[in-house]
Structure formats: C-alpha cells, structure tokens
Chain A
Amino acid sequence: DAKTTQPPSMDCAEGRAANLPCNHSTISGNEYVYWYRQIHSQGPQYIIHGLKNNETNEMASLIITEDRKSSTLILPHATLRDTAVYYCIVRVATWRDDKIIFGKGTRLHILP
C-alpha cells in the first residue's frame, strides 16, 4: 500500500503558485520524499526529492515539515503544461530493496 495521502484533485489559476500537499505520517527516519508527475498518456517524470531539508530545483520547491509527517510541492508559476497527475512517494534508499509504491496521486488542473 502507498504510504502517502494526497487530495484526489486540485485547481490552480495559470500564473499562480500551485501548492500540492502530501501526508506521510508513518514516514521513517531513513525514508526520502519523492515527487513525480504524469502528463496524460506519458510515463511519469521525476520532479524533486528531499529527506528533511527544503529543496528547490528548476521545476519546483519541496517543503517538508519539521516532524516530516507532511510535505508540500510548490510549482511557483503554474502553466497549462503543468496539468498532470502528481505523485508523492516515500521510499528507502537501500541497495537491497527498492520497491517504489505509487498511490493515486493528485490530478492538478491549471485553469487559463
């Protein structure tokens, strides 16, 4: 079972910041938070990941709460091309077992 909980859908106006929440209350100390997105009919695309510090890259920012039980993916200036399903995943990076479980994700609609 997925270890994360996300809202099934969200809307965001074009040009505004899109804030996608994720709950992972049972996260372990050695588990990372990863975000992927899937644009219609394509394979998932990596966005960002983090352990406990906030992270930023050219696509997005990831804010992880101090207790690590939840996180927020921020797309700073959403465009129509950001319409996709966004998956929040927690995973352990070990060499022996790399099962990655996707949940149902959040369907983000960017409104013109």
Chain B
Amino acid sequence: NAGVTQTPKFRVLKTGQSMTLLCAQDMNHEYMYWYRQDPGMGLRLIHYSVGEGTTAKGEVPDGYNVSRLKKQNFLLGLESAAPSQTSVYFCASSYLLTAAPTDTQYFGPGTRLTVL
C-alpha cells in the first residue's frame, strides 16, 4: 500500500512550456485534491474531484486544468507555464464524505516545480 504518490518529484520548465503532474492513490478514495504551496504560505486549493469523471475549481484554479479519468489518478496540467507557477504542488485524497466524521486527507510527498 503506497498511499498517495506524485510524479515527478522535481521539474524545471521554461516559460510557455506545458507539463502534466500525476497523482496516484491506491486507497480507493473518492476525493482527490491538488494544492500549491508557496514560501511562507499555507496550502491553496487549485482543483479537486469528488469522484471519477468529475472535477471542480478550488481557490486558485487559473492557469491549471485537471482530469480524473480513473478513480485512482488525478492529473494536473499546466498548458503554458509562467514563473508565477513556481511552487511546491501537493496532491491529496480522502474517503467519500458519507464516511465522515472519520475521514481525513492523505497527502503525497509533493512536486517541486520551477518555471524560468
């Protein structure tokens, strides 16, 4: 049981390039999330998904797209990277909320992205 994994761990892009970050979870969780964390800041929610085939915008969605074609995977795409998107990106997953109140979010190890 690997939990939540993220690929890649590090990446350097040039302005205007595109890339996709992959998040995978093997806990059969319904909910998945993408956050970004900038120095001295808390986590800010980019997009999230409440189930396979569904996505929704979070706090800072502009410049990002997501897809949840399979329940275990949640992809975050940057179509045209900008220096302002330099950040650490965390993926998380959680159980279906009808299982609350004991559900918690499980986080991946993060992806460090630098846009030059």
> CA–CA, A87 to B92, complex, Å?
15
Contact with B along A6-45 (1 / 0, CB 8 A): 0000000000000000000000000010101000011111
Is the beta-carbon distance between B107 and A99 smaller than 8 angstroms? no
Is the beta-carbon distance between B101 and A46 smaller than 8 angstroms? no
Is the beta-carbon distance between B59 and A43 smaller than 8 angstroms? no
Tell me which residues across on chain B come within 8 A of A81, comparing CB atoms: none
Is the beta-carbon distance between B44 and A94 smaller than 8 angstroms? no
Tell me which residues across on chain A come within 8 A of B103, comparing CB atoms: 93
Q: Tally chain A residues at the interface, Cβ within 8 Å.
A: 27
Tell me which residues across on chain B come within 8 A of A49, comparing CB atoms: 101, 104
> CA–CA, A49 to B45, complex, Å?
20
In the assembled complex, the CB of B34 is this many whole angstroms from the nearest CB of chain A, namely 12
> CA–CA, A101 to B37, complex, Å?
12
Known: A43-B107, A43-B108, A98-B50. A103 touches B97 (CB 8 A): no
Is the beta-carbon distance between B31 and A101 smaller than 8 angstroms? no
> CA–CA, A41 to B109, complex, Å?
8
Contact with A along B41-72 (1 / 0, CB 8 A): 11111001010000010110000000000000
Is the beta-carbon distance between B45 and A101 smaller than 8 angstroms? yes
In the assembled complex, the CB of A4 is this many whole angstroms from the nearest CB of chain B, namely 10
Is the beta-carbon distance between A99 and B108 smaller than 8 angstroms? no
Is the beta-carbon distance between B43 and A102 smaller than 8 angstroms? yes
B90 beta carbon closer than 8 Å to chain A: yes
Task: Kindly report which residue of chain A lies nearest to residue B99, judged by CB atoms.
Answer: A93
Is the beta-carbon distance between A98 and B107 smaller than 8 angstroms? no
Known: A49-B101, A93-B97. A100 touches B90 (CB 8 A): no
Chain B interface (Cβ < 8 Å from any Cβ of A): 4, 31, 33, 35, 40-45, 48, 50, 56, 58-59, 90, 92, 94, 96-98, 100-101, 103-110
Chain A interface (Cβ < 8 Å from any Cβ of B): 2, 32, 34, 36, 41-46, 49, 51, 85, 87, 93-105
